[in-house]
Amino acid sequence: MLLAVLCVAAMLLAPVVAGAAEPTRAATPIDVPRGASVAPAVPTARATGVPDPMAAPPRLVEASGRAGEVALDRLAAVPDGSVPARVTCGEHDGVELCLRRREAIGDAPEPTASAPVATAGAPGAAGAPGPGPVSAPGAEASASAAVGSTVLEHRAAVCEGTGSDGFRVQPVYAHTGVAPDPAAIQVISDALGNVEGAFADSAARTGAQRAPRWVTDDGGAGCRVVLRTARITTGATSFDALMEDLESQGVVPAVALGTVKHLVWTEGEILEPAEPGGTRTSTCGLGESYTDESPLGDGSANLNLYGTRAAIDDRCWDINGGGSVPAHELMHTLGAVQQGAPNYANDGHCDDEYDLMCYGPGMRLVCPDASDDALFDCGHDDYFDPDPVVGEYLCDHWNTSDSAYLQGWDTALAPRAVTGLAAVPGAGTVTVSHQGTPSCYGADFYRVEVVGVASTDTTSTSVTLSVPVGTHTVRVRPHSPYGDVFGEAVTVTVTVTRAATTTTTTPPTPNRRPVGSMVLSLTDGRGYGMLAWAVDPDSRTVPRMRVVIPGVVSREYGWNYRWADMPERTGWDRTEALVFLANLPPGTHEVCFDARDVNTGGWYRLDCRTHTVK
């Protein structure tokens, strides 16, 4: 069975082909009050596996049948190794593998970002928006008749990683002139700040932070955003034709490949493909999206984690009608608005105005503050809520705030305060009970305190503590299962009038630390894989585990795969273990494995291994 585990680890570290169906798309006509555009609706994930999207291909909302056939032809031509390996829950060589929730996405093999190609050329361009060619302060551009790149003066709100690692959003400028226009580049640079503002201000309403993970330089100059530039060589005006033009130049990949989304600012109008016997509608912008409501954490990754594309024509490059059109289109590529959302209206939009994603006939004024027109999800109930509660749609459906294309998606929020707190006095005791936290992500334990007298961490919602006669303050705080974060405390006062009926007490059983170890710790090139286990001896449960690689990662996890041989090899009647995968930079690394004591909450180091990567 150990050999089977090695086979699974090797498979996860190797790239495989995973074709994805063409997403749906939706368009916003130019005459709408806000001038926003729409994108197709798609699946979600709080886990690591990516299902085969061809098993249930998303529908083309407003594309022609021919466009669907073209999409399938593209998928059939996908080269081997173009998509990073993803594995869903299932049996592989006799081992059931289930990668779960947030952490698994970050541990997947890093994709290769589409690197900008810099070429020489003369500045200035024809046909660009704005008053005419002027210099763009702080922009370092290399222009050509076709493809190039520009390091903008705009510094990303998020500065992390290499600037191209992991899940990223690549801005693109598609121009009609011989070379990119500096004035247009400056408009795009300014527009990026308004896109960031829409995400930041929307997340701040629930105390969270979100920002697009743009492709940037390496951070030496302050993480300035890298803009891809390309000349429209075919005269394309429709969305499909524009994307085919950019694909042929290597500027954007075929739809649903890789983990880089492309947001295109294009000169001229974007026209919808005509339905048979219909007309070609002019739109402000168009975006691609999948119809997939699966939440992050159901055992498979949402299809909206694939790379999708959006385009905005030069009438709508920034703020239009009160909100950022590029932000609207980017939100579509993240998977908004799904058809099952409580206030879904049409083609990836909602109907509970005011809201940046709401548009179409039959709008309802549910959020009367007009400033919400520049923000996402005014009711925090349809597509974007960093802090959903149990029972809400976004607690168990795709929530775009969980998208790995946004910085902060894996940042732990403090759980909401517990509800229904009660303290019942006894003879020298107080029994504390509550209904738990309503936070969607719950709590992995509750800290119950009789202030100045006793304290315990417990997973139970009811606990009895020994206390002396007198009036006491009882305090309960939930602890987040993602990061060492406590929620708001709730207190209640209780008076104990009777002492304990006996003066003899049984000494508590000494606490025993967690036990466990790494079973496998191996490298393959820069890929690293680990299989490890841990058990808390007192509770006989599997505790939270942590992987520490100095300078690379320090993150805690729950179990994510069942190891059938664990009882035989460890002596513990458990099968829950941890598979950890990562790419390591060159050098010598100490990889350590920790577990947290269920009783004390303290972390204990169980094993360390050293690996050298060239």
Residue 259 and residue 290 in contact, taking contact as beta carbons nearer than 8 Å? no
For residue 268, give both structure tokens. 């001229």
Half-sphere exposure of 183 (CA within 13 A, CB side): 14
CA gap 601, 544 in Å, rounded: 10
Residue 271 and residue 311 in contact, taking contact as beta carbons nearer than 8 Å? no
CA gap 419, 367 in Å, rounded: 28
Confidence of residue 221 (pLDDT cuts 50, 70, 90): low
The whole-chain average pLDDT of the chain stands at 75
Please determine, for residue 502, whether its predicted confidence score (pLDDT) is greater than 80: no
Tens of pLDDT, residue by residue over 440-453, are 888 889 999 999 99
Q: How far is CA 237 from CA 147, 269, 319, in A?
A: 18, 6, 22
Residue 456 and residue 600 in contact, taking contact as beta carbons nearer than 8 Å? no
Please determine, for residue 60, whether its predicted confidence score (pLDDT) is greater than 50: no
Confidence of residue 500 (pLDDT cuts 50, 70, 90): confident
Least reliable range by pLDDT among 261-275, 333-347, 526-540: 261-275
Tens of pLDDT, residue by residue over 67-82, are 223 323 323 333 333 3
How confident is the model at residue 365, as a pLDDT?
Answer: 94
Residue 356 and residue 323 in contact, taking contact as beta carbons nearer than 8 Å? yes
Please determine, for residue 214, whether its predicted confidence score (pLDDT) is greater than 70: yes
Confidence of residue 257 (pLDDT cuts 50, 70, 90): confident
Tens of pLDDT, residue by residue over 300-358, are 678 898 888 999 988 889 887 788 999 999 999 999 999 999 999 998 999 999 999 99
How confident is the model at residue 64, as a pLDDT?
Answer: 24
- For residues 236 and 544, the model is more confident at 544
Tens of pLDDT, residue by residue over 508-521, are 778 899 999 999 99
- For residues 305 and 377, the model is more confident at 377
Q: Which long-range contacts (CB under 8 A, 24 or more apart) does 336-339 make?
A: 336/39, 336/41, 336/289, 336/376, 336/382, 336/383, 336/384, 336/400, 337/41, 337/382, 337/383, 338/41, 338/42, 338/291, 338/292, 338/293, 338/383, 338/397, 338/398, 339/41, 339/291, 339/293
Tens of pLDDT, residue by residue over 93-127, are 333 322 222 222 222 223 233 322 222 222 222 22
Q: Which of 507, 350, 357 is nearest to 36 (CA)?
A: 357
- For residues 111 and 560, the model is more confident at 560
Please determine, for residue 36, whether its predicted confidence score (pLDDT) is greater than 60: no
* Alpha helix positions (H), 306-393: 325-334
CA gap 455, 509 in Å, rounded: 16
How confident is the model at residue 527, as a pLDDT?
Answer: 85
For residue 333, give both structure tokens. 């590529």
Confidence of residue 505 (pLDDT cuts 50, 70, 90): low
Least reliable range by pLDDT among 40-54, 325-339, 564-578: 40-54
- For residues 135 and 237, the model is more confident at 237
How confident is the model at residue 97, as a pLDDT?
Answer: 29
CA gap 579, 104 in Å, rounded: 9
Q: Is the pTM of this model over 0.75?
A: no
Q: Which of 357, 369, 404, 377 is nearest to 48 (CA)?
A: 404
Q: Which of 517, 518, 438, 441 is nearest to 482 (CA)?
A: 441
* Alpha helix positions (H), 358-459: none
Mean pLDDT of 289-301: 81
How confident is the model at residue 397, as a pLDDT?
Answer: 94
Q: Which of 26, 549, 27 is nearest to 269 (CA)?
A: 27
Mean pLDDT of 129-153: 50
For residue 177, give both structure tokens. 């002139």
Residue 533 and residue 519 in contact, taking contact as beta carbons nearer than 8 Å? yes
Please determine, for residue 47, whether its predicted confidence score (pLDDT) is greater than 50: no
Q: What are the chain's domains?
A: 2-342 (no CATH), 422-496 (2.60.40), 515-613 (2.60.40.10)
Residue 531 and residue 563 in contact, taking contact as beta carbons nearer than 8 Å? yes
How confident is the model at residue 416, as a pLDDT?
Answer: 92
Which uninterrupted H or E stretch holds 591? strand 587-596
